[in-house]
Amino acid sequence: EPEVTQTPSHQVTQMGQEVILRCVPISNHLYFYWYRQILGQKVEFLVSFYNNEISEKSEIFDDQFSVERPDGSNFTLKIRSTKLEDSAMYFCASTGHQLSYEQYFGPGTRLTVT
Amino acid sequence: SQQGEEDPQALSIQEGENATMNCSYKTSINNLQWYRQNSGRGLVHLILIRSNEREKHSGRLRVTLDTSKKSSSLLITASRAADTASYFCATVGDSNYQLIWGAGTKLIIKP
């Protein structure tokens, strides 16, 4: 069964460093999402992406964040200058079309900022 | 912004019993979804119920939706140890497609 994959599974970085989290959505999906979950807290929407552009973003998704689909398979989340409060699980999700609504999630990347 | 809130925050029951979790939200929705998350793992979609539906079944899962009360419930019948996980509700609004999540219910099934 097709699945969303994410790499790395765990990333440790120092405050102020740039990180890139990678996702490979399901191959025929068109809509892509990033969410984050700070330990013990709710899952929070960050951004959605369709047709090579951002379609929605939350207040969390400020200028420090960017997303890119550099080729036909990868979908990346970049944090330019990490802060301690960026430590969280980051989940990528995809769906075939918006009206299907059901999103398929990757296993997540645990980001630890020290 | 709309927000799902689950209760209880934690639920511990014996294997074989039924588990009921509730979710409330604040604004109008297009649909409401339930997801499961095993400890430290990814989110798995369980079931989706649309705003014009009142009840939906999938295997041992039964979901209800009361749009007048802005609430939903997830019932897991004949629980198993493997059902131990956190369960989240998430809503999709009328004008966007992002999922807005509740805080989750941590379910523990005791063998």
Q: Please write the tens of the pLDDT for every residue from A15-65.
A: 999 999 999 999 889 899 999 999 888 899 999 998 889 999 999 999 999
Query: With pLDDT > 90 as the criterion, what percentage of chain B qualifies?
Result: 74
Nearest to A42 among B31, B44, B101 (CB): B101
Chain A residue with the nearest C-alpha to that of B33 = A102
CA distance A54 to chain B (A): 12
Residues of A with Cβ-Cβ distance to B101 under 8 angstroms: 35, 42-45
> For position A22, what pLDDT does the model report?
97
> For residues A71, B98, B45 and B87, what is the CA-based torsion angle, rounded to 10 degrees?
130
Using the structure block, give the residue that is written with the tokens 């649309």. B50
Q: A40 — contact with chain B (CB < 8 Å)?
A: no
Q: Are B81 and B38 in contact (CB under 8 A)?
A: no
Q: Which of A21-25, A103-107, B24-28, B96-100 has the lowest mean pLDDT?
A: B96-100
* A&B contacts, CB < 8 Å: 54
Question: Quick check: B100 contacting A, CB < 8 Å?
Answer: yes
What pLDDT sits at residue B35?
Answer: 94
B32-68 pLDDT tens trace: 999 999 887 789 999 999 999 999 999 999 999 999 9
Cross-chain residue pair B101–A108, CB shorter than 8 Å: no
Predicted pLDDT at A91 = 97
pLDDT at A21: 98
Q: Is the Cβ of B99 closer than 8 Å to some Cβ of chain A?
A: yes
Please provide the DSSP assignment of B38-93 as one string: -TTS-EEEEEEEETT-SEEEETTEEEEEETTTTEEEEEE-S--GGG-EEEEEEEE-
Cα–Cα dist B37/B46, whole Å: 10
pLDDT 10s digits, A51-89:
889 999 999 999 999 999 988 789 999 999 999 999 999
pLDDT-based confidence at A102, cuts 50/70/90?
confident
Contact between chains at B98 and A58 (C-beta distance less than 8 A)? yes
Q: Which residues, other chains included, contact B40 with Cβ-Cβ below 8 Å and sequence gap of 6+?
A: none
